[in-house]
Amino acid sequence: MQFNRTTTLFFVLAFFGLFVFASPVPASSELEERCSWGCNDASVLTILTNLQATVKIHIAVVANLVAQASVDVTLYTAAFATIIADINAAVVLIAALPVGVVGLSAAVIASTCASIFIEIFVVVNSCSGIPNITSCYSGLNGCLLSLLASLKVCLGGTIISLIAGLCASVKVVLQLSINVNVFAGLCGMLFV
């Protein structure tokens, strides 16, 4: 079949006619809108900065107990329970943010998160000589894994590799210390 001007015009009009009568496909109500590149950075950074400030206060309490050579496990349990509660509250706040991709402040976010991890690792390592101390901070692994998982969902997988790179300085200490079983899941996520 040969195309002449009339059949070509007919096909062009029919093609554009489909656009005129076509209706848009309705969006499902359970779909979640993704935010643009870097839209969560400021919110996540604020949450992590507040978490870092509160964790530092409670770490100072634990460090003070270690300096006093206290062996009262209930005091340590209360301090670590507060740290765990603070981290869980930050996880809830981060999980409420829309899904996005980390932007230009990825290094600052990773640095803040890594410093929180390193401060916790250092204080836990300083407590390793206290009898029955492991039961006091056994919940830290789970809440730190939740923090990493919520950051990964909110900002993408790149942030985890940045945090792992910054935490590499404590990798040997974590793997050689008495706390290796407590932080096994966290080491598996960060250092594999």
The 10 Å Cβ neighbour count of residue 99 is 14
Look at residue 132 in the predicted model and tell me its pLDDT.
80
- Total domains present in the chain: 1
Give domain status of residue 10, yes or no. no
- Whether residue 95 lies inside any domain: the answer is yes
Q: Which two tokens stand for residue 85?
A: 């509660």
Task: Say if CB 99 and CB 155 are below 8 A apart.
Answer: no
Does 36 map to a domain? Answer: no
Q: Give domain status of residue 167, yes or no.
A: yes
Asked if residue 23 is part of any domain, the answer here is: no
Q: How far apart are CA 42 and CA 70, in angstroms?
A: 40
The whole-number pLDDT of residue 57 equals 94
pLDDT at 163 (0 to 100): 86
Instruction: Report the DSSP beta bridge partners of residue 101.
Output: 37
Containing domain of residue 142, as a range?
41-190
The pLDDT of residue 55 is 94
pTM for the structure as a whole = 0.75
Q: Specify if 146 maps to a domain.
A: yes
Report the distance separating Cα 53 and Cα 166, nearest Å: 19
Q: How far apart are the C-alpha atoms of 72 and 74, rounded to whole Å?
A: 6
- 164, 109 Cβ separation under 8 angstroms: no
Residue 21 within any structural domain of the chain: no
Residue 48: Cβ within 10 Å count: 24
Instruction: From residue 25, give the alpha-carbon distance in Å to each of 18, 28, 32.
Output: 14, 9, 16
DSSP class of residue 192? -
Tell me the backbone φ, ψ of residue 3, rounded to 5 degrees: -95, 125
Average pLDDT per consecutive 10 residues, the chain (192 residues; last block may be shorter): 74 74 66 65 89 94 87 87 93 84 81 88 82 81 88 84 80 57 69 66
Query: Tokens representing 124?
Result: 């836990």
Tell me how far apart the alpha carbons of residues 154 and 44 are, in angstroms, rounded to a whole number: 9
Using alpha carbons, select from 117, 184, 175 the residue that is nearest to residue 151.
117
pLDDT at 165: 83
Residue 175 lies in a domain: yes
